[in-house]
Amino acid sequence: MSVARDAVRTQTVAFLSSGAREADEALERLTGLYGGVPPEKADVIVALGGDGLMLQTLHRTMHAPKPIYGMNRGSVGFLMNEYSERGLRERLAAAKPSIIHPLFMRARDVHGVETTARAINEVSLLRQTYQAAKLRIEVDAATRLSELIADGVLVATPAGSTAYNLSANGPILPLDAPLMALTPLSPFRPRRWRGALLPDTARVVIEILEADKRPVAAAADHFEIRRVTRVEVAMDRATSLILLHDPGHSLDERILREQFGY
């Protein structure tokens, strides 16, 4: 038996379920076949659900990142591997890692309270009422757009560029591209502005103009702060998260294929 296979057989595995019926049934069968330990004691985490569970698991383990291998028991499953109960330890041994970095968000609300959060996909700002948001955008302390009137704007990582960013007609970024996508949401003025590609070393500051009259919410993935006045976004390259995928189905390969889909 190979050293690599011996190593993976000694790995401790934690199984997590999204709570959906199919995921819970898979959890029961897999723990019966392979055993399981609590996530904090595991060498690798197997997430059973959809992309939402994958994001939750990445956030849950962000303080002490561990390799996460997802198997699709949800609806979309872009970040997940195909589900199978057979040969799991061999699949884990052969899996290819993808390294991603989250965004760091610092948001200030109308009361002057500052809140920080991290986002794996994107940091998005969105109007809270029928009135369009008015925003000023700075990049590395230079004003690049003095006034954007729109439903909002978002900053996306390469890993998140195929999510909300893509639905807003933003660009798809290769996983290893040292870039962030800055994408407007339903822009009214300037009409021809379609966003920008920024180096992942950039610091983006978005000031909310007329914040009392035109309230705006900021969200880092699923974590939302309402009535913000200022939001700062930068790539947190000190934090590295590891996703595992079967050979030929790595995250960078999936992102590349997405650019040829229709």
Q: Is 6 a catalytic residue?
A: no
- DSSP bridge pairs for 65: none
β-bridge pairing 44-49 and 13-17: parallel
SS3 20: coil
With beta carbons less than 8 A apart as the criterion, state whether 125 and 154 touch: yes
With beta carbons less than 8 A apart as the criterion, state whether 168 and 204 touch: no
DSSP 180-240: EEEEEES--BSTT---EEEETT-EEEEEEETTTTS-EEEEETTEEE-SEEEEEEEE-TT--
Gap between the Cα atoms of 199 and 251, Å rounded? 21
Gap between the Cα atoms of 141 and 241, Å rounded? 29
With beta carbons less than 8 A apart as the criterion, state whether 241 and 135 touch: no
With beta carbons less than 8 A apart as the criterion, state whether 79 and 72 touch: no
Catalytic residue (one of 6, 24, 43, 51) = 51
Residues 6+ apart with CB under 8 A from 161: 170, 171, 172, 173, 181, 255
Residue positions annotated with a catalytic role: 51
